[in-house]
Amino acid sequence: MMYKNKNLILLIFFIIITCLSYLSYNLLKPSLLSKIKKSKELNIVFLNAQSTYYIGVNGEEGFEYHLLKSYAEYLGVELKITTVNTVEEAIGYRNNPSIHIISASFTKTPSRKHKFNFGPSYFEVQQQVVCNRSMIGKRNFPRNIDGLSNLNLRVGEGTSYSETIRSLVKDGFDLNATFSSEYSTEELLKQVSSHEIDCTIADSNIYALNLRYYPEMDMAFTISGREQLAWVLAENSDELAKDMYVWLNDFTQRGKMAQLKDHYYSNVHFFDYYDTKIFYKRIRTRLVKYKKFFLKAAKKYNIPWKLLAAMSYQESHWNPSAKSFTGVRGMMMLTRTTAKTLGVENRLDPEQSILGGAKYIKKMIKLVPQDVKDENRLKFALAAYNVGRGHIQDARKLAKRLGYNQSIWSDLKKVLPLLEKKIYYARLKYGYARGEEAVKYVEAIYDYRDILEKISRKDIK
Protein backbone atom coordinates (compact mmCIF):
# COMPACT_ATOMS: atom_id res chain seq x y z
CA MET A 1 0.00 0.00 0.00
CA MET A 2 2.82 2.37 0.91
CA TYR A 3 4.53 1.47 -2.39
CA LYS A 4 1.40 2.41 -4.37
CA ASN A 5 1.02 5.70 -2.47
CA LYS A 6 4.67 6.49 -3.14
CA ASN A 7 4.18 5.92 -6.87
CA LEU A 8 1.05 8.05 -6.83
CA ILE A 9 2.92 10.87 -5.10
CA LEU A 10 5.73 10.64 -7.65
CA LEU A 11 3.20 10.73 -10.50
CA ILE A 12 1.47 13.80 -9.06
CA PHE A 13 4.85 15.45 -8.51
CA PHE A 14 5.82 14.73 -12.14
CA ILE A 15 2.55 16.17 -13.44
CA ILE A 16 2.98 19.33 -11.34
CA ILE A 17 6.56 19.80 -12.55
CA THR A 18 5.46 19.31 -16.19
CA CYS A 19 2.61 21.82 -15.86
CA LEU A 20 4.85 24.36 -14.18
CA SER A 21 7.45 23.96 -16.92
CA TYR A 22 4.82 24.42 -19.63
CA LEU A 23 3.35 27.49 -17.92
CA SER A 24 6.81 28.92 -17.29
CA TYR A 25 7.78 28.45 -20.94
CA ASN A 26 4.63 30.13 -22.24
CA LEU A 27 4.79 32.93 -19.71
CA LEU A 28 8.42 33.61 -20.48
CA LYS A 29 8.04 33.05 -24.23
CA PRO A 30 8.45 36.43 -25.96
CA SER A 31 5.31 37.76 -27.65
CA LEU A 32 5.17 38.54 -31.36
CA LEU A 33 5.11 42.26 -30.53
CA SER A 34 8.28 42.02 -28.45
CA LYS A 35 9.96 40.04 -31.25
CA ILE A 36 9.06 42.78 -33.73
CA LYS A 37 10.49 45.46 -31.45
CA LYS A 38 13.65 43.44 -30.84
CA SER A 39 14.26 42.70 -34.53
CA LYS A 40 13.37 46.31 -35.49
CA GLU A 41 11.37 44.95 -38.46
CA LEU A 42 7.66 44.75 -39.22
CA ASN A 43 7.14 42.21 -41.99
CA ILE A 44 4.08 42.99 -44.11
CA VAL A 45 2.52 41.48 -47.21
CA PHE A 46 0.87 44.20 -49.30
CA LEU A 47 -1.54 43.74 -52.18
CA ASN A 48 -0.01 45.72 -55.04
CA ALA A 49 -2.98 48.00 -55.76
CA GLN A 50 -3.92 51.64 -55.54
CA SER A 51 -5.93 51.26 -52.33
CA THR A 52 -3.13 49.40 -50.53
CA TYR A 53 0.43 49.79 -51.87
CA TYR A 54 2.06 50.90 -55.11
CA ILE A 55 5.07 52.81 -56.39
CA GLY A 56 3.96 56.29 -57.43
CA VAL A 57 5.78 59.19 -59.00
CA ASN A 58 7.20 60.17 -55.61
CA GLY A 59 7.93 56.65 -54.36
CA GLU A 60 5.86 54.31 -52.19
CA GLU A 61 2.17 55.20 -51.96
CA GLY A 62 -1.16 53.72 -50.90
CA PHE A 63 -3.70 54.35 -48.13
CA GLU A 64 -2.91 51.13 -46.25
CA TYR A 65 0.82 51.57 -46.80
CA HIS A 66 0.79 54.99 -45.13
CA LEU A 67 -1.31 53.65 -42.27
CA LEU A 68 1.10 50.81 -41.50
CA LYS A 69 4.12 53.02 -42.11
CA SER A 70 2.77 55.27 -39.37
CA TYR A 71 2.36 52.24 -37.09
CA ALA A 72 5.94 51.15 -37.81
CA GLU A 73 7.15 54.65 -36.89
CA TYR A 74 5.07 54.44 -33.70
CA LEU A 75 6.89 51.19 -32.84
CA GLY A 76 10.27 52.54 -33.91
CA VAL A 77 10.82 49.76 -36.47
CA GLU A 78 11.34 49.50 -40.22
CA LEU A 79 8.82 48.12 -42.72
CA LYS A 80 9.91 45.02 -44.60
CA ILE A 81 7.55 44.69 -47.55
CA THR A 82 6.51 41.73 -49.68
CA THR A 83 4.05 42.45 -52.52
CA VAL A 84 1.45 40.21 -54.15
CA ASN A 85 -0.89 40.82 -57.08
CA THR A 86 -4.13 39.14 -55.99
CA VAL A 87 -6.06 38.57 -52.78
CA GLU A 88 -5.64 34.83 -53.24
CA GLU A 89 -1.85 35.26 -53.31
CA ALA A 90 -2.05 37.33 -50.13
CA ILE A 91 -4.04 34.63 -48.36
CA GLY A 92 -1.27 32.18 -49.26
CA TYR A 93 1.02 33.96 -46.77
CA ARG A 94 -1.41 33.47 -43.86
CA ASN A 95 0.59 30.64 -42.26
CA ASN A 96 4.04 31.97 -43.14
CA PRO A 97 5.87 32.28 -39.78
CA SER A 98 7.97 35.23 -40.97
CA ILE A 99 4.97 37.43 -41.88
CA HIS A 100 3.42 39.62 -39.19
CA ILE A 101 0.60 41.41 -41.08
CA ILE A 102 -1.22 40.90 -44.39
CA SER A 103 -2.63 44.11 -45.87
CA ALA A 104 -4.94 43.41 -48.81
CA SER A 105 -8.20 45.30 -48.15
CA PHE A 106 -9.69 42.26 -46.42
CA THR A 107 -13.33 42.57 -45.41
CA LYS A 108 -14.44 40.91 -42.19
CA THR A 109 -16.93 38.49 -43.70
CA PRO A 110 -18.60 35.91 -41.40
CA SER A 111 -16.70 33.00 -42.95
CA ARG A 112 -13.36 34.81 -42.75
CA LYS A 113 -13.80 35.57 -39.06
CA HIS A 114 -13.54 31.83 -38.41
CA LYS A 115 -10.42 31.45 -40.59
CA PHE A 116 -8.38 34.61 -40.06
CA ASN A 117 -6.89 36.36 -37.08
CA PHE A 118 -8.11 39.89 -37.72
CA GLY A 119 -6.58 43.05 -36.29
CA PRO A 120 -8.39 46.40 -35.93
CA SER A 121 -10.83 47.67 -38.58
CA TYR A 122 -9.74 50.84 -40.36
CA PHE A 123 -12.25 51.49 -43.19
CA GLU A 124 -15.92 50.87 -44.00
CA VAL A 125 -17.01 49.77 -47.49
CA GLN A 126 -19.83 48.14 -49.43
CA GLN A 127 -19.57 45.67 -52.29
CA GLN A 128 -20.80 47.19 -55.54
CA VAL A 129 -21.71 45.58 -58.85
CA VAL A 130 -19.87 47.49 -61.58
CA CYS A 131 -20.81 47.15 -65.26
CA ASN A 132 -19.93 48.65 -68.63
CA ARG A 133 -21.66 51.98 -69.19
CA SER A 134 -22.69 51.20 -72.80
CA MET A 135 -25.14 48.60 -71.51
CA ILE A 136 -27.39 51.38 -70.20
CA GLY A 137 -28.45 52.26 -73.78
CA LYS A 138 -29.02 48.59 -74.61
CA ARG A 139 -31.38 48.25 -71.66
CA ASN A 140 -29.54 45.28 -70.17
CA PHE A 141 -27.81 47.31 -67.46
CA PRO A 142 -28.62 45.40 -64.25
CA ARG A 143 -30.41 47.10 -61.38
CA ASN A 144 -30.66 44.07 -59.08
CA ILE A 145 -29.31 40.52 -58.67
CA ASP A 146 -31.88 39.03 -61.09
CA GLY A 147 -30.55 41.38 -63.78
CA LEU A 148 -27.17 39.60 -63.66
CA SER A 149 -28.49 36.23 -64.81
CA ASN A 150 -27.63 36.61 -68.53
CA LEU A 151 -24.49 38.71 -68.12
CA ASN A 152 -20.80 37.83 -68.17
CA LEU A 153 -19.77 38.40 -64.55
CA ARG A 154 -16.19 37.82 -63.38
CA VAL A 155 -14.73 38.28 -59.89
CA GLY A 156 -11.44 37.47 -58.21
CA GLU A 157 -11.02 34.06 -56.61
CA GLY A 158 -10.47 34.20 -52.86
CA THR A 159 -12.09 37.63 -52.54
CA SER A 160 -15.14 38.54 -50.48
CA TYR A 161 -16.89 39.01 -53.84
CA SER A 162 -16.44 35.33 -54.70
CA GLU A 163 -17.99 34.47 -51.32
CA THR A 164 -20.96 36.70 -52.13
CA ILE A 165 -21.51 35.10 -55.56
CA ARG A 166 -21.27 31.54 -54.24
CA SER A 167 -23.69 32.38 -51.46
CA LEU A 168 -26.19 33.79 -53.98
CA VAL A 169 -25.88 30.71 -56.22
CA LYS A 170 -26.48 28.52 -53.18
CA ASP A 171 -29.62 30.55 -52.48
CA GLY A 172 -30.94 29.72 -55.96
CA PHE A 173 -29.90 32.70 -58.11
CA ASP A 174 -28.94 31.84 -61.69
CA LEU A 175 -25.62 33.66 -62.25
CA ASN A 176 -23.19 33.26 -65.14
CA ALA A 177 -20.14 33.97 -62.97
CA THR A 178 -16.49 32.99 -63.36
CA PHE A 179 -13.76 33.22 -60.74
CA SER A 180 -10.28 34.40 -61.70
CA SER A 181 -7.00 33.82 -59.88
CA GLU A 182 -5.13 35.66 -62.62
CA TYR A 183 -6.53 39.18 -62.38
CA SER A 184 -6.67 41.75 -59.58
CA THR A 185 -9.86 43.69 -58.87
CA GLU A 186 -8.36 46.74 -60.62
CA GLU A 187 -7.64 44.65 -63.73
CA LEU A 188 -11.21 43.35 -63.73
CA LEU A 189 -12.51 46.92 -63.52
CA LYS A 190 -10.37 47.75 -66.55
CA GLN A 191 -11.89 44.76 -68.39
CA VAL A 192 -15.35 46.10 -67.56
CA SER A 193 -14.43 49.55 -68.90
CA SER A 194 -13.13 48.04 -72.16
CA HIS A 195 -16.15 45.70 -72.23
CA GLU A 196 -14.13 42.48 -72.24
CA ILE A 197 -16.59 41.42 -69.54
CA ASP A 198 -19.99 42.84 -68.65
CA CYS A 199 -19.65 43.22 -64.90
CA THR A 200 -17.54 42.60 -61.82
CA ILE A 201 -17.82 43.36 -58.11
CA ALA A 202 -15.58 45.76 -56.20
CA ASP A 203 -15.55 47.43 -52.82
CA SER A 204 -16.86 50.99 -52.91
CA ASN A 205 -13.45 52.54 -52.14
CA ILE A 206 -11.71 50.60 -54.93
CA TYR A 207 -14.43 51.56 -57.43
CA ALA A 208 -14.22 55.23 -56.43
CA LEU A 209 -10.44 55.34 -56.78
CA ASN A 210 -10.48 53.77 -60.24
CA LEU A 211 -13.49 55.49 -61.80
CA ARG A 212 -11.43 58.36 -63.20
CA TYR A 213 -9.05 55.89 -64.87
CA TYR A 214 -11.76 53.66 -66.33
CA PRO A 215 -14.63 56.06 -67.14
CA GLU A 216 -16.59 53.56 -69.25
CA MET A 217 -17.68 51.65 -66.15
CA ASP A 218 -20.57 52.54 -63.86
CA MET A 219 -21.92 51.32 -60.54
CA ALA A 220 -25.08 49.26 -61.09
CA PHE A 221 -26.16 48.53 -57.52
CA THR A 222 -24.88 47.71 -54.06
CA ILE A 223 -24.81 43.99 -53.32
CA SER A 224 -23.78 43.93 -49.66
CA GLY A 225 -24.32 45.74 -46.39
CA ARG A 226 -21.63 47.83 -44.77
CA GLU A 227 -18.46 45.84 -44.15
CA GLN A 228 -15.26 46.56 -42.26
CA LEU A 229 -11.77 46.36 -43.77
CA ALA A 230 -9.14 44.93 -41.42
CA TRP A 231 -5.62 43.53 -41.45
CA VAL A 232 -4.92 39.83 -41.05
CA LEU A 233 -2.39 39.23 -38.27
CA ALA A 234 -0.15 36.26 -37.61
CA GLU A 235 -1.34 33.61 -35.16
CA ASN A 236 -0.79 34.19 -31.44
CA SER A 237 -0.61 37.96 -31.88
CA ASP A 238 -3.04 39.11 -29.18
CA GLU A 239 -0.58 41.64 -27.76
CA LEU A 240 0.14 42.99 -31.26
CA ALA A 241 -3.59 43.37 -31.93
CA LYS A 242 -4.15 45.24 -28.64
CA ASP A 243 -1.22 47.54 -29.37
CA MET A 244 -2.57 48.28 -32.87
CA TYR A 245 -5.99 49.13 -31.44
CA VAL A 246 -4.40 51.63 -29.03
CA TRP A 247 -2.26 53.16 -31.79
CA LEU A 248 -5.12 53.40 -34.31
CA ASN A 249 -7.41 55.06 -31.78
CA ASP A 250 -4.74 57.66 -31.03
CA PHE A 251 -4.00 58.09 -34.76
CA THR A 252 -7.69 58.79 -35.37
CA GLN A 253 -8.11 61.07 -32.35
CA ARG A 254 -5.20 63.25 -33.50
CA GLY A 255 -6.89 63.81 -36.87
CA LYS A 256 -4.28 61.84 -38.81
CA MET A 257 -6.84 59.38 -40.21
CA ALA A 258 -8.96 62.24 -41.55
CA GLN A 259 -5.88 63.75 -43.22
CA LEU A 260 -4.97 60.43 -44.81
CA LYS A 261 -8.49 59.83 -46.11
CA ASP A 262 -8.55 63.36 -47.45
CA HIS A 263 -5.27 62.77 -49.29
CA TYR A 264 -6.45 59.62 -51.04
CA TYR A 265 -10.22 59.99 -51.35
CA SER A 266 -11.17 63.67 -51.35
CA ASN A 267 -11.07 64.24 -55.10
CA VAL A 268 -12.98 61.08 -56.04
CA HIS A 269 -16.22 62.94 -55.31
CA PHE A 270 -15.61 65.36 -58.19
CA PHE A 271 -15.71 62.78 -60.99
CA ASP A 272 -17.61 63.88 -64.07
CA TYR A 273 -17.95 61.30 -66.86
CA TYR A 274 -18.12 63.70 -69.79
CA ASP A 275 -15.39 65.98 -68.47
CA THR A 276 -13.11 62.97 -67.95
CA LYS A 277 -13.84 61.63 -71.46
CA ILE A 278 -12.94 65.00 -72.97
CA PHE A 279 -9.81 65.18 -70.81
CA TYR A 280 -8.55 61.84 -72.15
CA LYS A 281 -9.21 63.04 -75.70
CA ARG A 282 -7.38 66.32 -75.16
CA ILE A 283 -4.36 64.50 -73.74
CA ARG A 284 -3.88 63.02 -77.21
CA THR A 285 -4.86 66.05 -79.26
CA ARG A 286 -3.66 69.05 -77.22
CA LEU A 287 -1.21 68.12 -74.47
CA VAL A 288 1.21 66.52 -76.93
CA LYS A 289 1.68 69.97 -78.54
CA TYR A 290 2.69 71.68 -75.31
CA LYS A 291 4.39 68.95 -73.29
CA LYS A 292 7.86 70.33 -74.09
CA PHE A 293 6.95 73.66 -72.53
CA PHE A 294 5.67 72.00 -69.34
CA LEU A 295 8.89 69.98 -69.13
CA LYS A 296 10.97 73.14 -69.58
CA ALA A 297 9.05 75.01 -66.88
CA ALA A 298 9.19 71.99 -64.54
CA LYS A 299 12.95 71.81 -64.84
CA LYS A 300 13.44 75.54 -64.35
CA TYR A 301 11.19 75.87 -61.28
CA ASN A 302 11.46 72.34 -59.84
CA ILE A 303 7.75 71.59 -60.05
CA PRO A 304 6.42 68.28 -61.48
CA TRP A 305 5.43 68.85 -65.10
CA LYS A 306 2.24 66.83 -64.78
CA LEU A 307 1.11 69.06 -61.96
CA LEU A 308 1.72 72.13 -64.15
CA ALA A 309 -0.15 70.44 -67.00
CA ALA A 310 -3.05 69.65 -64.66
CA MET A 311 -3.14 73.28 -63.51
CA SER A 312 -3.14 74.49 -67.10
CA TYR A 313 -5.98 72.16 -68.03
CA GLN A 314 -8.04 73.35 -65.08
CA GLU A 315 -7.35 76.95 -66.10
CA SER A 316 -7.74 76.83 -69.88
CA HIS A 317 -8.24 73.23 -71.10
CA TRP A 318 -4.84 73.67 -72.79
CA ASN A 319 -6.21 76.40 -75.02
CA PRO A 320 -3.52 79.10 -75.57
CA SER A 321 -6.19 81.57 -76.73
CA ALA A 322 -8.47 81.07 -73.72
CA LYS A 323 -10.03 84.22 -72.28
CA SER A 324 -12.40 84.75 -69.37
CA PHE A 325 -14.94 87.53 -68.92
CA THR A 326 -12.65 89.05 -66.27
CA GLY A 327 -9.83 89.45 -68.79
CA VAL A 328 -7.43 86.70 -67.69
CA ARG A 329 -5.90 84.98 -70.71
CA GLY A 330 -3.75 82.18 -72.03
CA MET A 331 -2.73 78.65 -71.06
CA MET A 332 -2.32 79.58 -67.38
CA MET A 333 -5.00 82.31 -67.39
CA LEU A 334 -2.82 85.16 -66.14
CA THR A 335 -4.10 88.67 -65.47
CA ARG A 336 -2.39 91.51 -67.30
CA THR A 337 -0.86 92.77 -64.04
CA THR A 338 0.39 89.36 -62.93
CA ALA A 339 1.84 88.66 -66.37
CA LYS A 340 3.75 91.95 -66.25
CA THR A 341 5.26 91.19 -62.83
CA LEU A 342 6.31 87.74 -64.08
CA GLY A 343 7.95 89.08 -67.22
CA VAL A 344 5.36 87.57 -69.56
CA GLU A 345 5.12 89.86 -72.60
CA ASN A 346 2.53 87.85 -74.54
CA ARG A 347 -0.05 85.94 -72.50
CA LEU A 348 -1.26 84.13 -75.63
CA ASP A 349 2.16 82.61 -76.25
CA PRO A 350 1.89 79.11 -74.70
CA GLU A 351 5.56 78.88 -73.71
CA GLN A 352 5.57 82.28 -72.01
CA SER A 353 2.27 81.58 -70.27
CA ILE A 354 3.38 78.18 -68.93
CA LEU A 355 6.72 79.55 -67.71
CA GLY A 356 4.91 82.49 -66.11
CA GLY A 357 2.38 80.23 -64.40
CA ALA A 358 5.13 77.96 -63.07
CA LYS A 359 7.06 80.95 -61.74
CA TYR A 360 3.92 82.27 -60.06
CA ILE A 361 2.96 79.01 -58.31
CA LYS A 362 6.59 78.62 -57.16
CA LYS A 363 6.34 82.08 -55.62
CA MET A 364 3.03 81.17 -53.97
CA ILE A 365 4.56 78.02 -52.45
CA LYS A 366 7.38 80.07 -50.92
CA LEU A 367 4.86 82.50 -49.42
CA VAL A 368 2.91 79.77 -47.63
CA PRO A 369 3.55 80.08 -43.85
CA GLN A 370 6.27 77.80 -42.50
CA ASP A 371 3.92 75.98 -40.13
CA VAL A 372 2.25 74.43 -43.20
CA LYS A 373 4.24 71.31 -44.02
CA ASP A 374 4.74 68.80 -46.83
CA GLU A 375 2.01 68.44 -49.46
CA ASN A 376 -0.24 70.82 -47.54
CA ARG A 377 2.02 73.65 -48.78
CA LEU A 378 1.26 72.90 -52.42
CA LYS A 379 -2.48 72.70 -51.80
CA PHE A 380 -2.46 75.99 -49.90
CA ALA A 381 -0.50 77.58 -52.76
CA LEU A 382 -2.91 76.26 -55.38
CA ALA A 383 -5.87 77.58 -53.41
CA ALA A 384 -4.13 80.96 -53.15
CA TYR A 385 -3.47 80.87 -56.92
CA ASN A 386 -7.22 80.51 -57.38
CA VAL A 387 -8.76 82.71 -54.71
CA GLY A 388 -5.90 84.96 -53.58
CA ARG A 389 -3.45 84.87 -50.66
CA GLY A 390 -5.49 87.31 -48.61
CA HIS A 391 -8.48 84.99 -48.50
CA ILE A 392 -6.25 82.05 -47.53
CA GLN A 393 -4.94 84.16 -44.65
CA ASP A 394 -8.55 84.89 -43.65
CA ALA A 395 -9.43 81.21 -43.87
CA ARG A 396 -6.51 80.29 -41.61
CA LYS A 397 -7.61 82.82 -39.00
CA LEU A 398 -11.18 81.56 -39.20
CA ALA A 399 -10.02 77.95 -38.92
CA LYS A 400 -8.14 78.74 -35.72
CA ARG A 401 -11.15 80.60 -34.35
CA LEU A 402 -13.43 77.63 -35.05
CA GLY A 403 -11.08 75.08 -33.50
CA TYR A 404 -9.67 73.63 -36.70
CA ASN A 405 -6.02 73.10 -37.56
CA GLN A 406 -5.09 76.10 -39.71
CA SER A 407 -2.02 74.31 -41.11
CA ILE A 408 -3.57 71.29 -42.83
CA TRP A 409 -5.60 71.22 -46.03
CA SER A 410 -8.18 68.71 -44.77
CA ASP A 411 -9.30 71.31 -42.19
CA LEU A 412 -8.83 74.43 -44.30
CA LYS A 413 -11.07 72.99 -47.05
CA LYS A 414 -13.89 72.82 -44.48
CA VAL A 415 -13.46 76.49 -43.68
CA LEU A 416 -12.98 78.01 -47.16
CA PRO A 417 -16.68 77.63 -48.17
CA LEU A 418 -17.60 79.65 -45.05
CA LEU A 419 -16.01 82.70 -46.71
CA GLU A 420 -19.18 82.88 -48.80
CA LYS A 421 -21.35 83.43 -45.71
CA LYS A 422 -21.81 86.96 -44.38
CA ILE A 423 -21.83 85.79 -40.76
CA TYR A 424 -18.18 84.83 -41.26
CA TYR A 425 -16.70 87.03 -44.00
CA ALA A 426 -18.06 90.27 -42.52
CA ARG A 427 -15.52 89.93 -39.70
CA LEU A 428 -12.57 89.07 -41.94
CA LYS A 429 -10.05 91.48 -43.47
CA TYR A 430 -10.53 90.49 -47.12
CA GLY A 431 -14.28 89.85 -46.97
CA TYR A 432 -16.30 87.65 -49.32
CA ALA A 433 -14.61 84.95 -51.38
CA ARG A 434 -15.76 82.00 -53.49
CA GLY A 435 -14.13 79.56 -51.12
CA GLU A 436 -15.94 76.44 -52.29
CA GLU A 437 -14.69 77.09 -55.82
CA ALA A 438 -11.11 77.16 -54.48
CA VAL A 439 -11.62 73.75 -52.86
CA LYS A 440 -12.97 72.28 -56.09
CA TYR A 441 -10.12 73.91 -58.00
CA VAL A 442 -7.46 72.17 -55.89
CA GLU A 443 -9.22 68.81 -55.92
CA ALA A 444 -9.76 68.95 -59.69
CA ILE A 445 -6.06 69.66 -60.32
CA TYR A 446 -5.08 66.68 -58.20
CA ASP A 447 -7.60 64.57 -60.09
CA TYR A 448 -6.17 65.54 -63.48
CA ARG A 449 -2.62 65.08 -62.20
CA ASP A 450 -3.42 61.59 -60.93
CA ILE A 451 -4.86 60.62 -64.31
CA LEU A 452 -1.75 61.90 -66.08
CA GLU A 453 0.46 59.88 -63.75
CA LYS A 454 -1.62 56.73 -64.23
CA ILE A 455 -1.97 56.57 -68.01
CA SER A 456 0.60 55.02 -70.29
CA ARG A 457 3.50 57.15 -71.53
CA LYS A 458 2.64 56.34 -75.12
CA ASP A 459 -0.51 58.47 -74.74
CA ILE A 460 1.63 61.57 -73.93
CA LYS A 461 4.42 61.26 -76.48
Instruction: Determine phi and psi for 356, rounding to 5 degrees.
Output: -65, -45
Which runs of consecutive H residues, i.e. helices, occur in 63-138?
63-75, 87-91, 110-115
**Which entry of 88, 227, 315, 443 is annotated as an active-site residue?**
315
DSSP code string of 32-62 = HHHHHHHHTEEEEEEEBBTTTBEEETTEEE-
CB-count exposure of residue 450 (10 Å: 0-12, 13-18, 19+): buried
Q: Give, as one character, the DSSP assignment of residue 144.
A: S
Question: What's the CA gap between 448 and 314, in Å, rounded?
Answer: 8
Number of other CB atoms surrounding residue 171 within 10 Å = 8
- Residue 108 DSSP SS3: coil
Task: Say if CB 201 and CB 177 are below 8 A apart.
Answer: no
User: How buried is 127 (Cβ within 10 angstroms: 0-12 exposed, 13-18 middle, 19+ buried)?
Assistant: buried
Q: Do residues 248 and 120 make contact, with C-beta atoms less than 8 angstroms apart?
A: yes
Burial of 14 (0-12, 13-18, 19+ CB in 10 A): exposed
Distance CA 253, CA 247 (A): 10
Told to judge if 315 belongs to the known catalytic residues of this protein, a careful annotator would answer yes
**Would you name the residues annotated as active-site residues?**
315
